Amino acid sequence: MFDRRHLLLGAAAASLLPSLSRAQTLTDEQRSASKTANADPTLAPDLLLPAKEMKWWRDAKFGVFVHWGLYAIPARGEWYMFNEKVSPEDYARLAAEFHPHHYDPDSWARLAKTAGARYMVMTARHHDGFALWNSPASYGHYDAVHSAAHRDLIAPYVKAVRREGLRVGLYYSPLDWRFPAYFHPKELPDNAALFKRQTYAQVEELMRHYGHIDILWWDGGWLAHKGTDADAAWFWEPDKLNRMVRKYQPDIVINPRSGWQGDFDVQEGGAPITGPIRARPWEKTFSINQGGWGYTPENNVLNADQVVRLLVDAVVRNGNMLANIGPDRDGIVPPRQAETLKGVGLWLKRHGRAIYGTRPGPFQPVDGVYGATTAGDSVFVHIVGWPSDDLSLPPLPRKVLGARNLSGDAVRWTADANGHTLSVPPASRGSAVTVIELRLAPEAA
């Protein structure tokens, strides 16, 4: 299937391949979480979307991420090929076993909708290089049409997500482990040219052939798993790449991982969210199955309370949340991940007013205690931990007309010159978060 002249495989190229110990490999994966740190803000600032085109994204707050591809078959995560040093030829054999009999993106989109998500993002192509769509530009026809699936799997996903009224996102990794030039771009210029051309042409396919796309979610713009995405900008020319994207999709929201700063920041992993309100819009992304992004047997699955807590901690700091599921080789969403999403949906049914369409503030969050969001004449106080029976809040510029516990249970509040005090009996507190709405007197005309 692969042309040995270009892909891995002559002895010279093979000797250039990294030989890493398992421990170092894990570090690579972990390092990928912080690789966007130094994007150059002076690179193509004209590409940033104006605030009015970012509004829907900032209002949406919650998306569902899907990591799915050939790596669902060995079930050891999406880094399986690299971590276990599987050669491209051996890995490619998985394509002949890729029969996703239960692939039903409508059911994924319905699940995301039930969870209260407003958008989805799916891995059109991960670092293994296998494209889930009909991709003539794919090196060696390494795509779903030429696999046992024999069809384009992105087109029905895009349709399904739209049908549920959700915004459509595509994830694309310019990184492709099949190309030795990924590890040695300067030493292997011919292979590097081929590698780069594939990325530009595949992204063009995705941007041209699937109608309107709302989000482009880059990942892996770095080189040789070293440095950051921005360090690889000399190679990818992310300004040129994203200019091409915007030519086809003028209002697409773009994440930061191509080496260009992007329209929002990303913070990856399930670690707690702390600190003040962030100036730039940002997104917390993590896998609900903490065992991996791509399918692995469910292990350490976050429950709905834990995910709600991450959502609230992101939203009160100007963030969104993109929570990942990893369907199995047949396309089935594992049951505990589905259950977590449904639990988040139940919480959002009752508390969605305090999340969707809000903006953070007026209070700065206090880590582990509370944060706030605002919409119209309401301030929502999200209490994540009670330091004592009462919670004291700073004063507000407008009179508070009343306080309501969104769970329907009791709340007592008192106001004095120094601010407000809220108290909610333990039985009326939420298991993850207690949300109190303060209704403010209308602003004087």
Q: Please calculate the CA angle 283-281-405 and round it to the nearest 5 degrees.
A: 75
Which one-letter DSSP state was computed for residue 310? H
Query: Cβ-count burial of 6 within 10 angstroms (0-12 exposed, 13-18 middle, 19+ buried)?
Result: buried
CB of 398 to ligand GLC, least distance (A): 40
Task: Quote the CA–CA distance of 359 and 58 in Å, as a whole number.
Answer: 8
Per-residue x/- track, 9-38, ligand GLC (CB under 6 A): --------------------x--xx-----
Task: Tell me the closest approach of the beta carbon of residue 64 to ligand GLC, in angstroms.
Answer: 13
- Residue with smallest beta-carbon separation from ligand GLC: 32
Footprint (CB under 6 A) of ligand GLC, residues 279-298? 285, 293
Q: How far is the CB of 165 from ligand GLC (least distance, A)?
A: 25
Nearer to ligand GLC, 20 or 33 (CB): 33
Nearer to ligand GLC, 68 or 133 (CB): 68
Convert residues 258-277 into a mask of x (bound to ligand GLC by CB under 6 A) and - (unbound). Answer: ----------x---------
Selection from 304, 381, 360 nearest residue 58 by Cα:
360
d(CA 79, CA 220): 12
Minimum Å distance from CB 179 to ligand GLC? 17
Q: Which of 68, 78, 111, 253 binds ligand GLC (CB under 6 A)?
A: 78
Task: Look at residue 68 and give its three-state secondary structure.
Answer: coil
Task: Say if residue 310 is exposed, middle or buried (CB neighbours under 10 Å; 0-12, 13-18, 19+).
Answer: buried
Helix (H, G, I), strand (E, B) or coil at 119: strand
Give residues with Cβ within 8 angstroms of 272, minimum separation 6: 313
Alpha helices in 148-267 (DSSP H): 154-163, 189-209, 233-236, 238-248
Q: Which amino acid is at 358?
A: T
Min dist CB 243 to ligand GLC, Å, is 24
Residues 354-373 that bind ligand GLC (CB under 6 A): none
Nearest approach, Cβ of 276 to ligand GLC (angstroms)? Answer: 24
Nearer to ligand GLC, 32 or 198 (CB): 32
Residues at the contact surface with ligand GLC, assessed by CB under 6 A: 29, 32-33, 67, 78-79, 219, 268, 285, 293
